[in-house]
Chains A and B, each alone.
Chain A
């Protein structure tokens, strides 16, 4: 079985991320699964970047412990990550950059391969941007992959730049390949043979797949202010805006972002915004406005370690309570948290439908770990979904329906709490969306009776959601194991990976719908399990607190990680061993 990890490190600006992306695509195009994890500081140049690609012929849900092939394009990579290389692994280094005598550990069974990257660049008068091609060439030899796949990728990437550029990039890769052949005598590390039957896969990040979901869901207005880890949604949708028929606006601040989106949504455009904790803090007043005016909106909340500016390029799940409780006053909101790219696609499409159906804010909680890393997912899995995806705009009236209503009331009291929506511009649509408390026709009111009726009406949407759209968490794994792991969102990956590697000594309750929760159903559901282990990427066990509040069930056993790094499968396995 093939399951190995390549780690590439170098200075920011060396094209490390592109090298990792190409490697992942080469793996998926050869018929394998791949999972990417990157670490980089919040700097543009000079900082130390690393990217890990785990390649396997079985589905792979997370990064793993240990590295099989470490490619050092700077000294720090060797210094900081040399010890991660497993016995029998390979370290590729450039002796102009790395102190060979310090790097080599005679007591370890590691192959040290010297590739003179700097000299190759110099002797061939190649610019720095060619470094990643040379590195890819080296990798292609060491993992025994098909050079043709790399050549095709280069051609696709530089198609618009012309034949000459394509040839130059390919030549650089060949230089790397030949050098590796010369210096690495024991044949190859792994044979990434192209499989005879290849089911096509997408190799895609959470951010990109949320963008795809938004396109499919008919998002018409996307508004954002850049903030890691959500900026790439803005970049992706901006690059597709015209083709998709979306207007993408980079507004002056997050306050403007969400108010513009609400204006657009009120006028009838499906609207989405994305940000991280700091930007979301600025949006919160308008989250409440969405609740009060009953204007649909989808908000992607990409978490990173806080408080304040925190650690911008690292990962955490520290904002669950903040998001669930966001917005002053009482109003329903829906909070979703996908666990992997497949789920992120599905829940993004669903978020738009829920926002229209319940006319209230719908939040998608993600994090740097899910949003920025590439994961392979069967093309079929996404494609079969989007063929079935339906656009449900809830009680949005057509012009014909509106004309049949004698005296239209925007905030009509209804049993399910949802009133029909007309759009400005429609004939007989006269109404107002009001941030003040209002009566059925939208006029401001301070009347006690009308106030209570409108609060009750809005709150009834929650009951409607609980009866129509609430889903219990998904359970993965064995039926009656001695231990049940409980977690949410992106921790699904490391947990499923640990489950696979430990041979199923536990099962996993995965929360991807975090609010509203049906307390009664949940209590009964959780009551079926025995011993729990709560795993969260935060320091206070926020999901655990929420579940205790909802059900009275306590979670004394916890694995909490808040170093800015995701939980690793081996950490889960160690903890589980301790408990069993």
Chain B
């Protein structure tokens, strides 16, 4: 078998409808890398859970066929945390937008990172709200003009990597949707990582944000060197501050810390959903009320 047919075959395992994204949208690259990563990891579509946010990014629910929950705008992370607690044996992946993750649901990101919930959060960073046709996202640059900021954005952008790093995320990475091979590796590492993983992916929105298109990122991104010490939090924080002229991609930080469910004795033997709940004995609970 030559390489091409092999790819076509394995990718079909997760193939849903053909995407409705605008031609040239950065989402295609992420979609492709995800399918390749899932296949290489030999994930089975019915033995995993993908939680989608609401946005052009979240619309991937129909193009990527795996067990999935298309959640509310901003709420994919708590939904995923709930799934993971209920069945910690399932790989749980979040696909969401920058508006989803850093705006509407910003609070959830901080707390999921603190808890080191073992989920992989992939954020489509296009600096814009795509689905609602072009308002600024929290990642937009100061001064960015959009439908909601015709005079230019007053706020400075959020710093996703710094946020995740300072709140306790144990895997923080950045990718570029045009570099499929590199992104596939990042996604695989994120899923393989035991703990909370954030992968911020630059995803050009060719329709509503041409200013931050492919060329913009190509000129600025650079891969972290092979000898980069990804276990060093201070170094990672330094890297996270490189936001405009030179922008790092790769694994910015990775450390080991027990995950949330490790601390739950109830889950030592079985996943929560595997427990028999039909015959709990209340006698041992009522004595204290007599």
Q: Is A266 an interface residue (CB 8 A)?
A: yes
Size band of the B side of the interface? 35 or more
Kindly provide the distance from the CB of A203 to the nearest chain B CB, expressed in whole angstroms.
Answer: 6
Q: Is A281 an interface residue (CB 8 A)?
A: no
Contact A263 B280 (CB under 8 A): no
Nearest to A244 among chain B residues (CB) is: B280
Quick one: which of B1-58 are within 8 Å of A by CB? Answer: 16-17, 45-49, 51, 54
Contact string against B for A residues 429-461, beta-carbon threshold 8 Å, 1 for contact and 0 otherwise = 111111110000001100000000000000000
Contact B285 A215 (CB under 8 A): yes
Stretch at the interface among A54-62, A267-275, A318-326: A267-275
Kindly provide the distance from the CB of A445 to the nearest chain B CB, expressed in whole angstroms.
Answer: 9
Stretch at the interface among B69-77, B187-195, B196-204: B69-77
Nearest to A391 among chain B residues (CB) is: B278
Q: Is A240 an interface residue (CB 8 A)?
A: yes
**Majority secondary structure, A binding face:** mixed
Q: Please name all residues of chain B whose beta carbon is closer than 8 Å to the beta carbon of A425 when the two chains form the complex.
A: 46-47, 49, 67, 87, 89-90, 273
Count the A residues whose beta carbon is within 8 Å of the partner chain — how many?
A: 69
CB contact under 8 A between A256 and B273, given known A215-B285, A379-B290, A424-B83: no
Q: Please name all residues of chain B whose beta carbon is closer than 8 Å to the beta carbon of A263 when the two chains form the complex.
A: 51, 69, 71, 78-84, 86
Nearest to B260 among chain A residues (CB) is: A249
Quick one: which of A171-203 are within 8 Å of B by CB? Answer: 200-203
Q: Is A285 an interface residue (CB 8 A)?
A: yes
Q: Is A243 an interface residue (CB 8 A)?
A: yes
Q: Is A383 an interface residue (CB 8 A)?
A: yes
Contact A260 B82 (CB under 8 A): yes
Contact B290 A262 (CB under 8 A): no
Nearest to A266 among chain B residues (CB) is: B69
Stretch at the interface among A4-12, A216-224, A535-543, A557-565: A216-224
Quick one: which of B73-114 are within 8 Å of A by CB? Answer: 75, 78-87, 89-90, 107-108, 110-111
Complex CA distance for A266 and B84, rounded to whole angstroms: 11
Contact B265 A242 (CB under 8 A): yes
Contact A221 B79 (CB under 8 A): no
Complex CA distance for A528 and B287, rounded to whole angstroms: 44
Contact of B46 among A245, A382, A424 (CB under 8 A): A424
Contact A212 B83 (CB under 8 A): no
Q: Please name all residues of chain A whose beta carbon is closer than 8 Å to the beta carbon of B283 when the two chains form the complex.
A: 383
Q: Please name all residues of chain B whose beta carbon is closer than 8 Å to the beta carbon of A444 when the two chains form the complex.
A: 59, 61-62, 70
Kindly provide the distance from the CB of A425 to the nearest chain B CB, expressed in whole angstroms.
Answer: 5
Complex CA distance for A534 and B94, rounded to whole angstroms: 51
CB contact under 8 A between A220 and B282, given known A259-B71, A286-B72: no
CB contact under 8 A between A267 and B49, given known A242-B266, A391-B278: yes
Complex CA distance for A174 and B80, rounded to whole angstroms: 56
Q: Please name all residues of chain B whose beta carbon is closer than 8 Å to the beta carbon of A262 when the two chains form the complex.
A: 79, 82
Contact A430 B45 (CB under 8 A): yes
Contact B289 A220 (CB under 8 A): no
Q: Is B212 an interface residue (CB 8 A)?
A: no
Q: Please name all residues of chain B whose beta carbon is closer than 8 Å to the beta carbon of A435 when the two chains form the complex.
A: 54, 70-72
Q: Please name all residues of chain A whose beta carbon is closer than 8 Å to the beta carbon of B111 when the two chains form the complex.
A: 251-252, 256
Complex CA distance for A425 and B267, rounded to whole angstroms: 17
Knowing that A243-B284, A260-B78, A260-B81 are A-B contacts, what are 19 other residue pairs whose CB atoms are under 8 Å apart, sorted by A's residue number? A220-B275, A221-B272, A243-B285, A245-B266, A245-B272, A245-B275, A253-B107, A263-B69, A263-B82, A265-B82, A265-B86, A267-B49, A267-B87, A269-B273, A286-B72, A429-B46, A433-B69, A443-B17, A444-B61
Please, could you name 22 A-B residue pairs with CB atoms under 8 Å apart, sorted by A?
A247-B85, A247-B264, A247-B272, A253-B107, A257-B78, A259-B72, A263-B78, A263-B79, A263-B82, A264-B86, A267-B90, A271-B82, A286-B75, A423-B273, A424-B83, A424-B90, A425-B47, A425-B49, A425-B90, A430-B67, A431-B67, A434-B70
> 3 nearest interchain CB pairs?
A263-B82, A218-B277, A260-B82
> Residues on A close to B: CB < 8 A?
25, 28-29, 200-204, 208, 212, 215-216, 218, 220-221, 223, 240-247, 249, 251-253, 255-257, 259-271, 285-286, 289, 293, 379, 382-383, 386, 391, 423-436, 443-444
